[in-house]
Structure 1
Amino acid sequence: MEFKDYYKILGVAPDADKKTIKNAYRKLARKYHPDVSDHRDAENQFKEVAEAYEVLKDDGKRAEYDEIRQYGGAHQGFRPPPGWEPSDFRGGGGSHFQGDFSDFFSSVFGGGTEAGSSDFGRRRTYNQRGQDIETEMPVFLEDTLSEESKTISYSLPHYDEHGQVTEVNKTLKVKIPSGVTDGELIRLKGQGAPGIGDGSSGDLYLRIRLVPHPLFDVEGHNLIITLPLAPWEAALGAKVTLPTLSGKINLTIPANSQSGQRLRVKGKGLPGKQVQGDLYAVLKIVMPKSNDSIKEHWQLLAEQAPFEPRAEWSEVP
């Protein structure tokens, strides 16, 4: 059995770091990609490059390989060291390299080959799952209440006839799931980059970004709005018009309301996965612009109202 020098296949030094190994793999994968390469042995070369990367990108498999490399690298006819137990690698752990491993790989790591794969007269195919794609999806607060689908566009990697990676645009109509929150990741299965051979397409991940609203702040699934009040509205009570995401409502302000006080409007927040959020109106007393007449009224109120706003301070020792 021939010993495979995976470092030589990728053209990197044995002490190369992961970034160097990854860059070498990408370069060679483009060069020997079966769909675009004119190289007469492109498929086998591509398979060797993929197998080498499968081992060297993983710390555990690389350590096993380095250990056996010291033993087997000097032998013309490679045999595993006496007592060597293959790790029975099955291509799991998130790997996209599916099957078609060499006999050398199988002798070191175990598994990885299918029945009949030693029949070298049979054409082998390389299957690889497509790349996952992540993109941000801006969502207006009003959109969370809508049943309509939203159109999104994103880019996918594509190999042209020269083996160069280009980007193609794709458009989808997406219905926003109820109860989404800022930063949440939504998975759309099979909408990522196409696979190679019989490999399945990757997935598309949408990172939800709630667009800031000019009136409302977001706390979980609740909305917060600052409600300006005139001093007399806070003192006497009033009915005011309050905007919500679904239209305007009338809100009753109790007499003797205080600045900073919160009034809850049930069910007027954002949709939640279990229940609808609420809207909280935070009261803010706003002083009118002053003139001589207004000053006289304030002065009269100051003289007649038995009110000490800092009375509680006298209780502090």
Structure 2
Amino acid sequence: MAARDLYEVLGVPRTATREEIQRAYRKLARSHHPDVSKDPGAEERFKDIAEAWDVLSDPAKRRRYDAFGPDWRSVPEDVDPEAWARARRGPRAGAGRHAAPGFGGLGPDIDFADLFGGGWGPAAGLDQEAEITIGVGEAYHGGRRHITLTGPEGARDLRVDIPAGVTDGQRIRLAGQGGRVDAGRPGDLYLNVRISDPRYRVDGRDLYVSLPLTPWEAALGATVALDTPGGEAKLKIPPGTSSGRRLRLRGRGLPSPRAGPGDLYAEARIVVPPRLTDEERRLLERLADVSAFDPRRSL
């Protein structure tokens, strides 16, 4: 199956600015996140969206993608884009010194050896993929992880440096850790990042967390402490807060050195005491007697 064009995945033109690409990514990531969308194909669609953002938001990656298309990861750094394009177009009439599978015949002033910078040499290895699952704390702060991968060559222990602000669906490249063909240069290993955390729901760089409140905090308003990946935050609860209300903490989501951090949304959840003291029961019974509020009247 042919690789999808990354610009088409985000629905932006090839001339789009980084800000336009970011807006498109955020909109699509929110609507296609597997925790939000009920579409059975949402997870694969979300991976495509994350991959497009990972490449097109990085100026160096985007230049190589624009030059080499879906082959950009496997093309050596020193290959000339114009030579690559001529090789992909195939032979000119009556010419061609060598032909290589997937490249067509090559013109009279370029051959496969020229394209890859010298003689034929050993074949380059294959890029490989694996998945790594991390928590929100690791995604926020970054860190170092040791992993063990098992493949045809046996088990390998690898050290992975996780960058701060990595998002669900992004990929971490381990250069030279992919497959090897004979004595050739090994390919790269790409780790697909999966963020899984029992406390947080992740949407792009935005985080969602449940905020338990007492009935009186919700009714009267309060200022409460909330633990976040970046440390404790003070959150002001407006009077009359009901369960399900989202309170936004700007900039408290996952960080980004280029696009700015995401936000954290605390979702109110009212919790009643499992057992009441005599005084609490008396006060609540008094409130029930004097209050005319009926939450079911508007249903």
TM superposition score category, shorter chain reference: 0.5 to 0.7
Following superposition, the deviation at residue 262 of structure 1 comes to 1.0
1:91 matches 2:100? yes
Structure 2 equivalent of residue 225 of structure 1? 209
Q: CA deviation at 1:229?
A: 0.9
Q: Distance in 1 between matches of 2:251 and 2:130?
A: 31
> Percent of counterpart pairs with the same letter?
39
Closer, same or farther in 2 for the Cα pair 1:155/1:311, shift >3 Å? closer
CA-CA distance at 1:257 after TM superposition = 1.5
Identify the residue that residue 127 of structure 2 maps to in structure 1.
132
TM-score, normalised with respect to structure 1: 0.52
Aligned to 2:252: 268
- Measured in 1, the distance between the counterparts of 2:247 and 2:253 equals 13
Q: Hey, what's the Cα distance between the residues in 2 that align with 1:217 and 1:147? A: 18
1:231 is displaced (CA, Å) by 0.7
Q: Classify the secondary structure of the residue corresponding to 2:100.
A: coil
Instruction: Evaluate the alpha carbon distance shift between residue 229 and residue 131 of structure 1 in structure 2; reply closer, same or farther with a 3 A threshold.
Output: same
What is the DSSP-based 3-state SS (H/G/I as helix, E as strand, rest coil) of the residue aligned with 2:131? strand
The separation in 2 between residues aligned to 1:125 and 1:219, in whole angstroms, is 46
In the TM superposition, what is the alpha-carbon distance from 1:263 to its structure 2 partner? 0.9
How do 1:191-202 residues align onto structure 2 when only pairs under 5 Å count? 191-197=177-183, 199-202=184-187
Q: Can you list the C-alpha shifts for 1:204-223, whole angstroms capped at 9, x where unaligned?
A: 1111121x323222122111
Give the match for residue 204 of structure 1: 189
TM-aligned CA distance change 1:298 to 1:88, over 3 Å: farther
Residues 310, 155 of structure 1: alpha-carbon distance in 2 compared, 3 angstrom cutoff: closer
Q: How far apart are 1:288 and its partner, in Å?
A: 1.6
Based on CA coordinates, which of the two structures has the bigger radius of gyration? Answer: 1
2:66: which partner in 1?
A: none
Match of 2:242 in 1: 258
Alpha-carbon distance, 1:144 to partner = 2.0
TM-score (norm 2): 0.55
Q: Is the 8 A contact 1:152 1:171 kept in 2?
A: yes
Question: What is the CA–CA distance in structure 2 between the aligned matches of 1:279 and 1:130, rounded to whole Å?
Answer: 42
After superposition, the CA RMSD in angstroms is: 3.6
Going from structure 1 to structure 2, the CA distance change for 1:284 and 1:225 (only over 3 Å counts) comes to same
Q: 1:130 to 1:251 in 2, by over 3 A?
A: same
The equivalent position to 2:266 in structure 1, one of 270, 274, 281, is 281
Partner of 1:153, secondary structure, is: strand
Q: Distance in 2 between matches of 1:126 and 1:230?
A: 71
| Structure 2 counterpart SS, 1:307 | coil
Count of matched residue pairs: 198
Structure 1's unaligned 5+ residue stretches are 1-84, 95-108, 116-123, 158-166
Q: Distance in 2 between matches of 1:178 and 1:93?
A: 38
Report how far residue 275 of structure 1 moved.
Answer: 1.4
- The Cα of 1:259 is off from its aligned counterpart by 1.4
Q: What is the CA distance between 1:274 and its match in structure 2?
A: 0.9
Is contact 1:128-1:195 (8 Å) kept?
A: yes
| Structure 1 residues 312 and 168: alpha-carbon distance in aligned structure 2, compared to 1, 3 A threshold | closer
Q: Which of the residues 258, 272, 288 maps onto 1:302? A: 288
CA contact 2:142–2:163 (8 Å) conserved in 1: no
The Cα shift of 1:271 comes to 2.0
Which amino acid in the other structure matches residue 234 of structure 2? N
